[in-house]
Structure 1
Amino acid sequence: MRRQQRTPSPLPRWRAGRRIPTPSSAPVTRAPSADRRALVPRVGLRGVTQRVRGFISGVAGASPARTALLAFALVILVFTALLSLPFASRDGRVTAFHDALFVAASSVTVTGLTPVNTAEQWSFAGQLVILVAIQIGGLGILSMAALLTLAVSKRLGVRSKLITQEGMSTGRIGEVGSLLRVVVATTLLFELALAVVLIPRFTAHAGSLAEGVWHGIFYSVSAFNNAGFTIHADGLGSLLQDPWIVWTITAGVFAGALGFPVVMVLLKQRWKWSRWNLHTKLTVTTTVALVLGGALLIGLFEWSNPATLGQYGVGERIQYSLFGSVMTRSGGFAVYDVNEQYAETLLLTDALMFVGGGSASTAGGIKVTTLAVMFLAIVAEARGDREVTTHGRTIAPGSLRVAISVLALGATLVLVSTMALVAISGESLQRPLFEVLSAFGTCGLTTGLTAELPPAGKYVLTALMFAGRVGTITFASALALRQRRNLFRYPEERPIIG
């Protein structure tokens, strides 16, 4: 039997400028041109902006770590292009791509390693590009760390969110705008304070106000962001006779290496130890222990070395020992030639560069909290404790697993990169290992091997600086954000360890 087609009932097709769908068999009448123009959505500049922001928000929400990696890679490429142009070099020539890429990556990741002399290679415009790259890189690192911390806190319970809020000091949980404003304002405030002290001293040394202002601003930004770039041909060696410059740069590097959560707590709670959160207590105590212990060992090893500390008086030896200990943790400024140090000092420097500074800071390395958690876990295991506790708090097993993962990732990156650099350079282990750890820890100290490497070696260090800066942060945050609940549990069995 043939189906009987239903006759569609007459319906008004237009109501207040909107079309009501009609059956396919109904005759379609075209709307007047004025009505058609009213029905077509207008996508202006505002609409395009909203769509772009929606796309970026969607990508960031799906993978904040991937977004951070892409953002840093794009910024590095932009500054590579700028540094390659003739206006950036002092001789007006195009800079080789591998050198421009290396310096751009070193600036954005605030490392400080460079294959060329910054004062001799780059013009004022080129040095200004480097300064902007350091500032954007430093703010980007702090902002990225802040947003990733916020993303991690959203996965926590209400009580954990409140605890996290104490370390972030944003006013309200999840207030992204306030958090970023705090990060930017705090960074600029610290840099301004450093510049106010440094500008008069550099003006006195240079004999020119304009030059003193430029040097004061450059070194204040470079110090707080732990970049380690210098715009003097001989470095800071001739200027570190001035205690004001020494201690100001030391204070800037130390503050920048603490991390924004610690700085926020210190600004809010001052020195009220009982009100500090666990992260602040671990960061401050471990940092102070590493700085003082490193200064003591550097002074002990190099005290009588005529090429390093032995050429100074007792007071200067103590001052430069402390200065060198702070710089090995990501500062990158040097008083004397690193190659003149004894082998034991170089090995100590390797260890301090690998540890780096505080979490969510401009410093690199595996971070001091990772070292602290691993040490506490070893102590708890030696005592036979079932849980890792400190300062009246129990460290979550998830944090311990993340610390182990970050440590393993860092060691693997250093191992693979060192083997590659040894094969490329043909050097023995000591110098390639030092350069690799300086790149991974974004420290910037160098034995001079970086300038001697062929392009292949520079590409290895460039990739390592990028991985050492963003890799550990995004890897740790990705592990913290990744949560999976199993509906079953396997039987427990202990393999033989040790």
Structure 2
Amino acid sequence: MRATARASRHLVPTTWWGRVQWRVNEFAGASPSRFALTVFTTLILVFTLLFTLPVSSASSSTTPLADALFTAVSVICVTGLSTVDMAEHWSGFGHVIVYLGVQIGGIGVLTLASILGMVISRRLGLRAKLIAASDSNPLRAHAGPVAEGQAIRLGEIGSLLRTVALSAVIIELVVAFMIFPRMLAHGFSLYDSSLDSLYYSAMAFTNTGFTPNEAGLTPFATDYVFLTALMIGVIAGAIGFPVIYAVAQNLRRTSRRPFWTLHVKLTMVTFALLLVAGWILYLILEGGNPRTLEDDGPGNAVFQSLFMSVMARSGGFSVLDINHLHSSSLLVTDMLMFVGGGSASTAGGIKVTTLAVLFLAALAEARGVESMEAFRRRIPTDVLRVAVSVVLWGATIVAASTVTVLAITKDTLDHALFDVISAFATCGLSTGLTQHAPTPAVYVLAVTMFLGRVGTVTLAAALAQSQRGQYYQHPEERPIVG
């Protein structure tokens, strides 16, 4: 034991920079979840400082701390909510900070760090692979054995990170190329069209929803090519990097049958079902609303319903005024936002696979079978425990934040609940409550965004001291449930 301790001390670098790196590596390897929280918190503080600088605002004045902090959290957590007019308040430097922040937050701080490490060293060490694996699969945030059949295995992390980097660049460029000529057609200058198309593409792929121009999407309300490009970017970002990685892998398999993991199948099927369900519900609920869809004709109503269904998952863009939606449509949007997109994606929410696992558990219970199964694969019970924990903690955060915001703002329940779920699910849609909220409510919503982005599983794992082995079991007794 003493020999091991002496040997480990000899491994400590002698230079101060080497010791700092060694300590960081030790901390990151011991707890990737706490490392994630530390990195996110540090980035938020740095971006808060940048947003308070006079050079960041268009008026060359210091931005109030509450607005700077909220914007930093919204940018790093790729939410899209704001307490200031994002198009007018920030200077060119401020917009560059916003652009860089959503890229960092959208791809994922840990994934981005691993990409940079791989570029520098041309290989990933075991610790870097573990950190990237925990970012792509929340189950790896827990100590102990991880169930087989992971969406991304440890040996594939390097390929996943290359896919993440390439897909982010390629998808954003494709979306930008689709948007650029449409902006020129609407009278924007060549300079503005070039910059704004890149800005829009980044906000779509990262599921943030900020707009660089003062009028927002109003000039493009009936430009179906422009809006379709935004939908493509949002769906590509929300579907999840493991799904993009699986698609890329199958495209290379020219001589073999495509192979889809259970995670990919559940994500794609549940994602598509929710997308179609939201599309139909918006069309039914808002089809007779003169302030939203009724006066625009059936063709536009069908398209705008689809656009709203896509953006309600996590995109944050909106052509329709949220305040003009019926209460039933607001509730549908609440549910879609709470679910969000795919795991390891730029979207927020509890994730579509979490909903799928809960549905499969309920189906198995109704059928009287012991195990959950899907696509001829058995899902272990520890996945169900994680899914239940995610939903429970998510609902608890939303409930506590909603009650607090209601007490502070004295606004209506549907508006407060809508903006709180939008903050938790990092969606970005708003009834207008956030922009006019008092300072205490702004801080509450900022905390809600942070908790929603870092993930309830990661947060729970980071707060837990360690996993203890239990070598005994208490007598079993069944409570009455239901």
Closer, same or farther in 2 for the Cα pair 1:404/1:482, shift >3 Å?
farther
- Pairs within 5 Å for 1:112-131: 112-131=80-99
- Pairs within 5 Å for 1:22-41: none
- Pairs within 5 Å for 1:391-410: 391-410=375-394
Closer, same or farther in 2 for the Cα pair 1:96/1:177, shift >3 Å?
same
1:184 corresponds in structure 2 to 165
Does the CA contact (< 8 Å) of 1:151 and 1:481 recur in 2?
no
Q: 1:283-317: CA deviations, max 9, x gaps?
A: 00000000000010000000121111112121111
Name the SS of the counterpart of 1:81 in structure 2: helix
Does the CA contact (< 8 Å) of 1:142 and 1:260 recur in 2?
no
2:347 corresponds in structure 1 to 363
Q: Structure 2: any 5+ residue segments left out of the alignment?
A: 1-11, 113-130
1:136 corresponds in structure 2 to 104
Name the SS of the counterpart of 1:50 in structure 2: helix
Which residue type is aligned with residue 75 of structure 1?
L
1:445 corresponds in structure 2 to 429
Q: 1:412-463: CA deviations, max 9, x gaps?
A: 0000000000000011211111110000010000000111111100000000
Name the SS of the counterpart of 1:317 in structure 2: helix
Which residue type is aligned with residue 412 of structure 1?
T
Give the root-mean-square deviation of aligned CA atoms. Answer: 2.5
Name the SS of the counterpart of 1:486 in structure 2: coil
- Pairs within 5 Å for 1:69-108: 69-108=37-76
Closer, same or farther in 2 for the Cα pair 1:426/1:281, shift >3 Å?
same
2:276 corresponds in structure 1 to 292
- Which residue of 354, 360, 370 corresponds with 2:338? 354
- Pairs within 5 Å for 1:371-382: 371-382=355-366
Closer, same or farther in 2 for the Cα pair 1:151/1:423, shift >3 Å?
closer
Q: Distance in 2 between matches of 1:118 and 1:237?
A: 15
Find out whether 1:311 has 2:295 as its counterpart.
yes
Which residue type is aligned with residue 490 of structure 1?
H
Q: Distance in 1 between matches of 2:13 and 2:331?
A: 65
Closer, same or farther in 2 for the Cα pair 1:450/1:88, shift >3 Å?
same
Percent identity between the two aligned chains: 45
Q: Distance in 2 between matches of 1:389 and 1:480?
A: 30
Shift of 1:146: 3.7
Shift of 1:233: 1.6
1:201 corresponds in structure 2 to 182
Q: Structure 1: any 5+ residue segments left out of the alignment?
A: 1-40
Q: Distance in 2 between matches of 1:151 and 1:239?
A: 38
Does the CA contact (< 8 Å) of 2:133 and 2:140 recur in 1?
no
Shift of 1:137: 1.0
Q: Distance in 1 between matches of 2:13 and 2:40?
A: 34
Which residue type is aligned with residue 280 of structure 2?
L
Q: 1:61-119: CA deviations, max 9, x gaps?
A: 12111110110111111111111111111111111110011111101100000011111
Q: Distance in 1 between matches of 2:59 and 2:397?
A: 37
1:323 corresponds in structure 2 to 307
Q: 1:162-184: CA deviations, max 9, x gaps?
A: x33xx437xxx346555433322
1:14 corresponds in structure 2 to none
> How many residue pairs align between the two structures?
448
Which residue type is aligned with residue 423 of structure 2?
A
Does the CA contact (< 8 Å) of 2:36 and 2:109 recur in 1?
no
Does the CA contact (< 8 Å) of 1:146 and 1:179 recur in 2?
no
Q: Distance in 1 between matches of 2:306 and 2:453?
A: 25
- Which residue of 215, 224, 238 corresponds with 2:196? 215
Whose Rg is larger?
Answer: 1
- Pairs within 5 Å for 1:458-497: 458-475=442-459, 485-497=469-481
Question: Could you tell which deviates more after superposition, 467-476 or 433-442?
Answer: 467-476
2:416 corresponds in structure 1 to 432
Q: Distance in 1 between matches of 2:257 and 2:300?
A: 32
Q: Distance in 2 between matches of 1:483 and 1:396?
A: 19
Q: Distance in 2 between matches of 1:283 and 1:147?
A: 18
Q: Distance in 2 between matches of 1:361 and 1:352?
A: 16
Does the CA contact (< 8 Å) of 2:70 and 2:82 recur in 1?
yes
Closer, same or farther in 2 for the Cα pair 1:477/1:181, shift >3 Å?
farther
Q: 1:338-358: CA deviations, max 9, x gaps?
A: 000111000100111111111
- Which residue of 114, 118, 133 corresponds with 1:147? 133
Closer, same or farther in 2 for the Cα pair 1:304/1:490, shift >3 Å?
same
Which residue type is aligned with residue 264 of structure 1?
Y
- Which residue of 216, 219, 236 corresponds with 2:217? 236
Does the CA contact (< 8 Å) of 2:40 and 2:109 recur in 1?
no
Q: Distance in 1 between matches of 2:145 and 2:444?
A: 42
Name the SS of the counterpart of 1:335 in structure 2: coil
Shift of 1:189: 1.8
Shift of 1:195: 1.4
TM-score, structure 1 normalization:
0.85
Q: Distance in 2 between matches of 1:226 and 1:427?
A: 27
Which residue type is aligned with residue 432 of structure 1?
A
Q: Distance in 1 between matches of 2:156 and 2:282?
A: 44
TM-score, structure 2 normalization:
0.87
Shift of 1:481: 12
Name the SS of the counterpart of 1:307 in structure 2: coil
Which residue type is aligned with residue 20 of structure 2?
V
Does the CA contact (< 8 Å) of 1:146 and 1:360 recur in 2?
no
